[in-house]
Amino acid sequence: MTVRLRTARGRSTSSQRWLARQLNDPYVAAARTAGWRSRAAFKLIELDDRFRLIRRGARVLDLGAAPGGWAQVALARGAAQVVGVDLLPIEPLAGAVFVEGDLADPAMPARLAALLGGAADLVLSDMAPRTTGHAATDHVRIVALAELAFDLAQQVLAPGGAFVTKVFQGGSERDLLAALKQRFTAVRHAKPPASRKESSELYVVATGFRAAAP
């Protein structure tokens, strides 16, 4: 059954659409029931089911970690150490360390590496820019974030490690994909079922990190 808003008083059209979508999204309800902090937790669950990304005892770096749903999944699936960073504050989570800060800060890679206590086995990035509604602009912005995440991943990943980052469909990530293929043995696109059908988001999943470019 479709849940309808009882009143639109005081809400903009866009906020009405967002609220209606939330009320009628089965993943939102499932996340609430299961205790996940966000519906996005199911995206990582589905990616991990397919690619076996989270190894027991792994060190995991979570970029764009708020509100902490991906960190929850990583810990639930056996990660020993999870470090997350976001511009927004994140409610504490047992087993994880969260940093409020900008990934573009030159001091951030060393800070995160120190908190991990060793090389990362998996770097996750669900970072996304504020969308403008202009597809080409939004695509360029998210690719820039993916490139920032990849740059950090190259600094902290252990040999054989994996990297996951979000992009939007659009084609301008060609250079990023070429660079990833130089550093990883396999690079694939995936759209987990939990991604909304109307969304243009995709995830790039790179596995088998090479410690040095050939």
Catalytic residues: 166
**Structure letter (DSSP) for residue 195:** S
Token duo for residue 113: 């590496």
Q: How far apart are CA 135 and CA 126, in angstroms?
A: 18
Q: Three-class SS of residue 17?
A: helix
Task: Answer whether 47's CB lies under 8 Å from 70's CB.
Answer: no
Number of neighbouring beta carbons within 10 Å of residue 179: 18
Residue 142 and residue 129 in contact, taking contact as beta carbons nearer than 8 Å: yes
Q: Is the backbone peptide bond immediately before 67 cis, with ω within 30 degrees of 0?
A: yes
The span from the CA of 51 to the CA of 38, in Å, is 21
